[in-house]
């Protein structure tokens, strides 16, 4: 059949086309069927979407990304034909029924995913099957390799290492200290990071306050060859693109299948050529992993699959019961990380200690430091200013101002202080509440928004002491964040006397 192209002014991260319900009935098409759409200059397979009024009979609406891929013009007559369901959908159904997927079946699924041949329902089915049926180690390894093979790869000449956190703890800006510390050595550390999805700031969000983070692979290679490290946004690189397509569906489903999470992380490490990876697994109340035993089980899975892939993984089980350092939000975290490098003597010990521990793991595992000495070497380089000087080089190579000082980084113009209403001790700093408040204030979209903690768990406070401050770029968002903080306090104070019994 032939239909007239109607190009919509909408970019969509999917390959779909919209036809009128009458045309669908006429040609025996249903929602989520597939069509092969051909212009004079190309063809593409799209998922069918239906409309009763947006698209008139005899026309087919194409999203901008679809129209661009086949160079279709508005009003052009297109050839449209039914396309059979890809075989990978049968493999997804096999996994839903409890079967084990072969290497070839996994390659088919990931390939069709990246080519956007799968509908959102197909992807949802794969995610749910992976979450509830589960994936064994061989399946996870094959998914990892397939994810890496369907994207671009970074080929560096030297010994490449990397660091990754499974996330879940706000304020975790340690990569801004780790990368320059490791880059002081002969090791190469091309840190590709994501922007925040559910947290107040991702590493790329924080680094973007100091320098450009959007580069192509050749640009990253040039930067790393010069200064041995970088901190960039991975979303512009087409490294393991299947991951972003899965995350797009995972978030509304609110699931994070363990096997796919491991494959996601390791596929990116495989794509950048990492030989050694320091894996940060925060554990504690409010973190993704509740306790050390569960953290060790996860670490073991990573290590065994990494070994099969030729990646030497060493995990750090870290404390995740409260934020790292005192700042939460892109600009506030950039200030704190830069301050820690410039004046480590005044920095939060949780930030310095965690950064030095993970950097030390990389040095020891890569054979550049004897066992149990990596921490001291890394901490020494932060304390003597060498890490700061290297960070200045990295900032300069990424197009930022290497001489910028923390107080020159703009933060939100609107601020509200919360003070202690009694004497006592901080018994709880709630990660989940802090994330809700910081996001309500505007983080990470409004880079100057977030929270500064003045007190943390275990601190003794007096009535009237400032507990934390909320910053926002907009007064309306500050009001919303303040309301949340009043309703769900992120800091709990208790006296030494908890209760009198009998009362």
Residue 127 has a CB neighbour count (10 Å cut-off) of: 20
| Separation of alpha carbons 85 and 231, rounded Å | 41
Contact indicator for 274, 161 with CB cutoff of 8 Å: yes
Q: Which two tokens stand for residue 420?
A: 């202690």
- Angstrom distance (rounded) from CA 449 to CA 445: 8
Q: What is the DSSP letter of 169?
A: -
For residues 99 and 312, give the distance between their C-alpha atoms in angstroms, rounded to a whole number: 30
Does the N-terminal peptide bond of residue 312 adopt cis geometry, omega within 30 degrees of 0? Answer: no
Contact 231, 207 (CB under 8 A): yes
Q: What share of the chain is helix, strand, coil (3-state, %, to 5)?
A: 45, 20, 35
- Tokens of residue 373, six digits: 């000495």
For residue 62, give every residue at least 6 positions away whose Cβ sits within 8 Å of its Cβ, in sequence order, or none: 5, 6, 7, 8, 17, 37, 46, 72
By annotation, the residues acting in catalysis are 256
List residues bridging with 282 in a β-sheet: 318
CA 182 to chain centre: 22
What CA dihedral angle connects 45, 48, 54 and 57, to 10 degrees?
Answer: 90
Asked whether the beta carbons of 456 and 326 are under 8 A apart, the reply is yes
- What is the CA 82 to chain-centroid distance, rounded? 37
Q: Would you state the structure tokens that stand for residue 232, as one six-digit string?
A: 């960039």
C-alpha to C-alpha distances, 172 to 136, 232, 240, 437, nearest whole angstrom = 30, 16, 24, 16
Are the beta carbons of 383 and 377 closer than 8 angstroms?
no
């Amino acid at each position: 059949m032939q239909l007239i192209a109607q190009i919509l002014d909408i970019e969509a991260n999917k390959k779909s086309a919209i036809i009128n319900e009458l045309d669908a009935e006429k040609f025996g098409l249903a929602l989520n069927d597939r069509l092969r759409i051909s212009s004079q200059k190309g063809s593409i397979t799209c998922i069918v979407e239906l409309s009763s009024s947006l698209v008139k009979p005899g026309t087919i609406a194409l999203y901008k990304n679809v129209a661009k891929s086949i160079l279709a013009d508005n009003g052009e007559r297109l050839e449209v034909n039914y396309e059979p369901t890809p075989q990978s959908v049968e493999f997804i159904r096999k996994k839903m029924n409890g079967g084990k997927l072969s290497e070839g079946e996994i390659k088919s699924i990931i390939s069709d995913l990246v080519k956007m041949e799968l509908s959102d329902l197909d992807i949802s089915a794969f995610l749910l099957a992976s979450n509830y049926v589960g994936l064994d180690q061989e399946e996870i390894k094959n998914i990892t390799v397939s994810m890496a093979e369907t994207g671009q790869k970074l080929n560096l000449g030297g010994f490449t290492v990397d660091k990754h956190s499974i996330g879940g703890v706000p304020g975790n800006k340690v990569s801004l200290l780790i990368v320059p510390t490791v880059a002081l050595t002969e090791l190469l550390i091309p840190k590709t990071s994501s922007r925040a999805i559910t947290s107040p700031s991702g590493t790329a969000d924080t680094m973007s306050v100091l320098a450009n983070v959007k580069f192509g692979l050749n640009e990253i290679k040039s930067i790393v060859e010069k200064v041995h490290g970088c901190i960039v946004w991975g979303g512009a690189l087409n490294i393991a693109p299947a991951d972003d397509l899965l995350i797009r569906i995972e978030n509304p489903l609110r699931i994070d299948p363990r096997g796919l999470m491991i494959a996601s992380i390791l596929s990116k490490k495989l794509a950048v050529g990492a030989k050694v990876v320091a894996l940060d697994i925060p554990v504690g109340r409010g973190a993704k992993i509740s306790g050390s035993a569960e953290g060790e089980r996860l670490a073991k899975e990573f290590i065994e699959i990494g070994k099969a892939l030729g990646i030497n993984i060493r995990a750090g089980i870290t404390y995740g019961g409260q934020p790292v350092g005192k700042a939460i939000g892109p600009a506030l975290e950039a200030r704190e990380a830069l301050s820690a490098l410039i004046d480590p003597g005044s920095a939060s010990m949780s930030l310095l200690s965690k950064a030095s521990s993970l950097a030390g793991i990389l040095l020891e595992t890569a054979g550049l430091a004897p066992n149990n000495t990596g921490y001291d070497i890394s901490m020494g380089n932060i304390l003597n200013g060498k890490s700061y000087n290297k960070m200045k080089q990295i900032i300069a190579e990424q197009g930022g101002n290497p001489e910028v000082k923390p107080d020159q980084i703009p933060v939100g113009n609107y601020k509200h202080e919360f003070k202690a209403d009694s004497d006592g001790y901080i018994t709880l700093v709630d990660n989940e509440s802090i994330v809700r408040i910081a996001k309500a204030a505007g983080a990470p979209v409004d880079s100057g928004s977030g929270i500064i903690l003045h007190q943390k768990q275990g601190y003794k406070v007096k009535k009237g002491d400032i507990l934390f401050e909320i910053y926002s770029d907009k007064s309306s968002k500050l009001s919303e964040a303040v309301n949340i903080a009043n309703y769900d306090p992120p800091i709990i104070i208790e006296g030494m006397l908890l209760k009198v019994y009998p009362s």
